[in-house]
């Protein structure tokens, strides 16, 4: 049985993936998100934020001034509820940002969906002039994580995709798709 790949950061030929404005003969070749390694930092921050009340709240509950407690039990409970709701919101927002900010490579174009689909950029493959991959850090070299820069001849000069898995495979595949499309175009002449 195949495991679900919905949380992968590099999916080749993703099943059941579509988007508004897709042509009938257009197929999604890649769905790319930032590497799952980028989740590590906000995951650790979330764990730390979840642990803080365990140490802070008993201290706040014991604070006294002139022989009486400063914070009553209802305030401490309300503060805990507010704190954990804020931490849940922090984690959920970061997860949604990671999950929905994607790069789609189809057999006709490249589509970059950023900021929860509020910024969508696309370029036809025929406008792509150069595809470059780069891995600039030691951590990137260890985990094969880098950036892709796609230079186009359209209004938006460059598409930049940072912290993606397998940048060289992605670069090669985009170049192969472009070469194949250009070969098909010239074959019909």
> What's the predicted TM-score (pTM) here?
0.79
Closest CA to 100 of 84, 123, 119: 119
Share of the chain above pLDDT 90, in %: 24
What would the pLDDT profile of 119-134 be if each residue is shown by its tens digit?
Answer: 888 888 888 888 999 9
Closest CA to 130 of 115, 112, 104, 110: 110
Closest CA to 56 of 76, 78, 72, 85: 76
The domains of the chain are located at 10-34+101-187, 40-96
Cα separation, 3 vs 23, in Å, equals 29
Report the pLDDT value the prediction gives residue 187, as an integer from 0 to 100: 44
Q: What is the second-level CATH architecture of the domain 10-34+101-187? A: Roll (2.30)
Question: pLDDT-based confidence at 188, cuts 50/70/90?
Answer: very low
Task: Say if strands 145-152 and 10-12 run parallel, antiparallel, or are unpaired.
Answer: unpaired
Q: What is the mean pLDDT of the chain?
A: 85
Q: Is the pLDDT of residue 17 over 80?
A: yes
Among 44-53, 78-87, 107-116, where is mean pLDDT lowest? 107-116
Cα separation, 100 vs 114, in Å, equals 8
């Amino acid at each position: 049985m195949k495991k679900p790949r919905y949380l992968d950061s590099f999916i080749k030929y993703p099943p059941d993936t579509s988007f508004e404005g897709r042509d009938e003969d257009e197929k999604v070749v890649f769905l790319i998100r930032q590497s799952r390694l980028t989740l590590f930092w906000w995951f650790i921050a979330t764990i730390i934020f979840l642990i803080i009340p365990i140490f802070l709240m008993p201290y706040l509950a014991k604070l006294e001034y002139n022989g009486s407690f400063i914070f009553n039990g209802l305030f401490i409970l309300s503060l805990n509820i507010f704190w954990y709701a804020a931490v849940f919101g922090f984690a959920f927002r970061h997860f949604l940002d990671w999950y929905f900010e994607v790069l789609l490579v189809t057999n006709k174009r490249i589509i970059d969906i950023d900021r929860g689909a509020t910024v969508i950029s696309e370029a036809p493959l025929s406008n792509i002039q150069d595809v470059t991959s780069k891995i600039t850090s030691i951590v990137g070299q260890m985990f094969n994580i880098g950036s892709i820069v796609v230079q186009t001849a359209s209004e938006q000069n460059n598409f930049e995709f940072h912290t993606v898995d397998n940048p060289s495979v992605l670069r090669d595949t985009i170049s192969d798709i472009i070469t194949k499309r250009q070969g098909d175009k010239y074959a019909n002449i």
